[in-house]
Amino acid sequence: NAGVTQTPKFQVLKTGQSMTLQCAQDMNHNSMYWYRQDPGMGLRLIYYSASEGTTDKGEVPNGYNVSRLNKREFSLRLESAAPSQTSVYFCASRPLNSGNTIYFGEGSWLTVV
């Protein structure tokens, strides 16, 4: 059981380049999330998708776009990468019902130079 799988795990981008982080879960979860983790700032929600076909902004959506391709997959796109987007990105998923634990992927280390 793979859980939540993110690719790539490491990426170095030049300022202005674009890229897509891929995420897939095999737990049949309705809700999926993208977070970024920065030192001293904890985990901040970028976008989330409560269910297939819906997406909503989180705390820090600027500079990002998302696509909920199907129930399994939720991708995060950086259209024009900036050094401020250097971070560790986590994809996560969980069942729709309240109180359920959230399952995280292993993280994607992104450096923008």
Q: CB of residue 97 vs other proteins: minimum separation in angstroms?
A: 10
Considering only residues 61, 63, 73, 107, which one is a binding residue for other proteins as defined by CB under 8 A? 107
Residues 6+ apart with CB under 8 A from 33: 45, 47, 48, 49, 58, 74, 91, 92, 93, 94, 102
Considering only residues 17, 52, 55, 58, which one is a binding residue for other proteins as defined by CB under 8 A? 58
The one-letter code for the residue type at 52 is: E
Residues 6+ apart with CB under 8 A from 95: 29, 30, 31
Residues 6+ apart with CB under 8 A from 14: 81, 112, 113
Residue with tokens 């490491």: 10
Q: Does 113 bind other proteins (CB under 8 A)?
A: no
Q: Does 44 bind other proteins (CB under 8 A)?
A: yes
**Residue closer to other proteins (CB basis): 38 or 79:** 38
Strand 10-13 to 108-112 pairing: parallel
Q: Does 95 bind other proteins (CB under 8 A)?
A: no
Considering only residues 25, 31, 85, 87, which one is a binding residue for other proteins as defined by CB under 8 A? 31
Q: Does 50 bind other proteins (CB under 8 A)?
A: yes
Contact positions vs other proteins (CB under 8 A): 31, 33, 35, 40-45, 48, 50, 56, 58-59, 88, 90, 92, 94, 96, 98-99, 101-104, 106-107
